[in-house]
Structure 1
């Protein structure tokens, strides 16, 4: 995908963005050769949302259905995408890329099987120029241009160390849990599941993971990779870590658990694409090219298509 001449539609389907940060993000996109158009309601405010539900739904529908828009960029997370999901179009008029993270996880769950939708978990536009580092920005360019991203070194926490291949899924734990039991529940079968969160106490993370387990969301997952957990405090007298909690909860799946992925709400938020083929080996998350994804080490054709 060549960026020059592509058009970005900027929308705020959730929380109220910092418009100075969004302006800095727009300037950066324009320096990349992208044309930028802004949703009609992005500067509105209704309670803790960037406009009423109808206004936010209208901007999302515009960005997804206008054939002149190539890339839909979420301005900010927070909370509110879920109100827009019932208004999602049944189909896209042409292939589109959607970029965001945090609360956008709910949007990605709802669009995970939509033909023509390419979903990139990466910095929101409000954080792209103002709050993440150069490596994060470079990772977005890599994702947008279909280049192969460099491998990410991880920390092995639990399970076998044999290589594991799968497609990427996951996102914000609390948002994933809010989708459990709905028609938009995440489909993690055959997936390597990346997880992150912010400002959630340990017991609330436990509660969300338990809900995801009991709802069947994680059934068929091939591995789990933990990202950043920003300001997720333990009790003052805790003699355990967050990693201990996650291993306790995820070990029954009998699959590997790793930590250390630079994804989430910290200054480094590496972009990755939903459904992208990857493998875990030598304590690294390795992104595969299209050719590598088509064949395993023996040369046998294999499929990483998501289960329906």
Structure 2
């Protein structure tokens, strides 16, 4: 895997909205967070554009991404929010540009599609973490989530702190592999495309929001039938926010996870604070990691160099 260069104080970062449109007010509200870290912030040319439920036309959003990639003064790219739309532009992304200009790329949720495509086409480590308008600008954004950005300034081995959330073992064991995954809905939407999620011998992260148990059931079934669960070296279940069933009777999420993951020949652990939640444990996708259920530990190699 290719690790991007670390950030230094005085560097400039770029902010774009490659999925849904973002509130410019919320984006500006989040800018001081980066300025306090000694960074300069440059907004994408089309960040305040809109095209229906998208943050601008496909061309506008793609142009902003490419401009941030080729600009030598931009040392990292952060996304304003997720929503929907990155899957529409991955076919037009110039992956050679990314290979020639590897830099920090940070976001989650709908950005999962972009992470998956970049990982498959370039082997660049990218980062699954909070975004400006949807997370950093909100009152609930906490100190732990903020501290996770420090991994961008110094190569740091991450150790998951059990104090932020109790982990539950579904399948015991130990496994090592590169981290991959993210939002379950987006991962399923890559199946059958040139950007299909590759889980072979990898530690697969799964998280989502606003998906009832029957929907999670259907998506896990699709991953199972595609062979993606059996191929994984281990599975890390992140936060599934607002997943309560709206109709009864219903299986619980715990039952759904047990049905699909309980008999896998690899360690499976539930309860990671990864996803649409605070605190938010930010991780470098593509980095080497080891999960041990006996000690309930997750250790991740540094994402930057």
TM-score normalized with structure 1 length: 0.87
Segment of structure 1 superposing worse, 21-30 or 110-119:
110-119
Q: Which runs of 5+ in 2 are unaligned?
A: 1-5
Check 1:78–1:21 CA distance in 2 against 1; reply closer, same or farther (3 A cut): same
CA distance in 2, matches of 1:191, 1:120: 16
Task: Say which of 194, 204, 218 aligns to 2:229.
Answer: 218
* Contact residue 199 and residue 231 of structure 1 kept, 8 A: yes
Task: Say which of 260, 282, 300 aligns to 2:271.
Answer: 260
- Counterpart position of 2:3: none
- Counterpart position of 1:34: 39
* Contact residue 95 and residue 122 of structure 2 kept, 8 A: no
1:219 to partner: Cα distance = 4.3
- Counterpart position of 1:186: 197
2:155 is the alignment partner of 1:155: no
* Contact residue 158 and residue 301 of structure 2 kept, 8 A: no
CA distance in 1, matches of 2:47, 2:268: 39
2:305 is the alignment partner of 1:285: no
Q: Which runs of 5+ in 1 are unaligned?
A: 291-308
CA distance in 1, matches of 2:187, 2:153: 24
Render the CA deviation track for 1:33-65: whole Å, top value 9, x for unaligned.
112111100001111111111111111111122
- Counterpart position of 1:128: 136
Task: Say which of 15, 30, 37 aligns to 1:10.
Answer: 15
1:10 to partner: Cα distance = 0.6
Segment of structure 1 superposing worse, 101-110 or 264-273:
264-273
Render the CA deviation track for 1:98-124: whole Å, top value 9, x for unaligned.
000000000001000444733000001
CA distance in 2, matches of 1:198, 1:288: 25
What's the Cα RMSD here?
1.9
- Counterpart position of 2:149: 140
1:279 to partner: Cα distance = 1.4
CA distance in 1, matches of 2:260, 2:68: 39
* Contact residue 159 and residue 256 of structure 1 kept, 8 A: yes
2:240 is the alignment partner of 1:229: yes
CA distance in 1, matches of 2:101, 2:224: 35
Render the CA deviation track for 1:158-213: whole Å, top value 9, x for unaligned.
223x3222221110000101111110011111111111100011111111111122
1:137 to partner: Cα distance = 1.0
Aligned residues: 289
SS in 2 for 1:98: strand
CA distance in 1, matches of 2:235, 2:161: 14
